[in-house]
């Protein structure tokens, strides 16, 4: 990651060290085509925020469903594994953590680290949901299990939309690194030509 950040910053650093005399004759410019290429096709911040808001709202629909489940009764009266009880508590905790993660991301929708954090937290919630659905079907009621199943299906579709956004964002960042690398190579070439003895003689002759 440090190497890539260095590549991204290199064109800026290179431009910063060119002397005024050098920039008078030839000043490296980023082409219009390069700027267009860097624009990418990632969803606008407000679209991403809307998607995140919907995802968070759907995740929070799990709270009332969790309150309808009674895993302690499953364990005490029906011989269910105590794992379901711990998963029930885990689900409640993960919902709070996911809401906080989405809140942080909503102000920095193009932060890949925060995107990954939010996505994996949502994925972890789904894993617990599926286990609790199995528990409800075996030791609870069919109605509870069906509600969980429907919620999982809705949340999965919404999470896949977020996954697509994350893939597009990552691809866009990769493209930006490649563009920055090309610009760095171009700047190096221009500076090398200006610093060569032949170029200096031509400049003196003028």
Residue 58 pLDDT: 81
Question: For the chain, how far is it from start to end, CA to CA, in angstroms?
Answer: 45
Hey, is 70 helix, strand or coil?
Answer: coil
Q: Is pLDDT at 176 greater than 60 in this prediction? A: yes
- Return the top range by mean pLDDT from 102-111, 132-141, 152-161, 193-202: 132-141
Residue 61 pLDDT: 87
- CB neighbour class for 196 (10 Å; exposed up to 12, middle 13-18, buried from 19): exposed
What's the whole-number average pLDDT of the chain? 74
For 104-118, how does the pLDDT look when each residue is reduced to its tens digit (9 = 90+)?
888 888 888 888 888
Of 27-36, 38-47, 140-149, 171-180, the one with minimum mean pLDDT is 27-36
Confidence of residue 202 (pLDDT cuts 50, 70, 90): low
- Return the top range by mean pLDDT from 93-107, 130-144, 162-176, 192-206: 130-144
For 49-68, how does the pLDDT look when each residue is reduced to its tens digit (9 = 90+)?
777 778 778 878 889 999 99
Please give the model's pTM, rounded to 2 decimal places. Answer: 0.62
Which residue's entry shows tokens 């808001």?
53
Residues with Cβ within 8 Å of residue 63, at least 6 apart in sequence: 92, 95
Residue 82 pLDDT: 95
State the Cα–Cα distance between residues 165 and 127, nearest whole angstrom: 21
């Amino acid at each position: 990651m440090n190497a890539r950040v260095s590549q991204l910053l290199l064109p800026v650093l290179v431009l910063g060290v060119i002397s005024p005399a050098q920039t008078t004759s030839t000043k490296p410019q980023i082409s219009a085509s390069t700027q267009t290429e860097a624009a990418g096709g990632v969803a606008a911040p407000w679209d991403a925020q809307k998607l995140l808001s919907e995802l968070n709202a759907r995740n929070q629909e799990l709270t009332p469903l969790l309150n309808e489940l009674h895993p302690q009764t499953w364990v005490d009266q029906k011989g269910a594994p105590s794992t379901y009880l711990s998963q029930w508590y885990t689900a409640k905790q993960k919902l709070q953590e996911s809401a906080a993660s989405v809140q942080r991301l909503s102000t920095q929708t193009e932060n890949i680290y925060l995107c990954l954090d939010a996505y994996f937290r949502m994925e972890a919630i789904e894993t617990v949901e599926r286990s609790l659905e199995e528990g409800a079907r075996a030791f609870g009621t069919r109605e509870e299990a069906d509600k969980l199943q429907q919620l999982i299906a809705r949340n999965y579709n919404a999470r896949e939309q977020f996954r697509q956004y994350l893939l597009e964002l990552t691809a866009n960042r990769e493209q930006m690194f490649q563009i920055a690398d090309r610009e760095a190579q171009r700047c190096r070439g221009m500076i090398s030509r200006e610093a060569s003895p032949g170029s200096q003689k031509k400049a003196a002759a003028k």
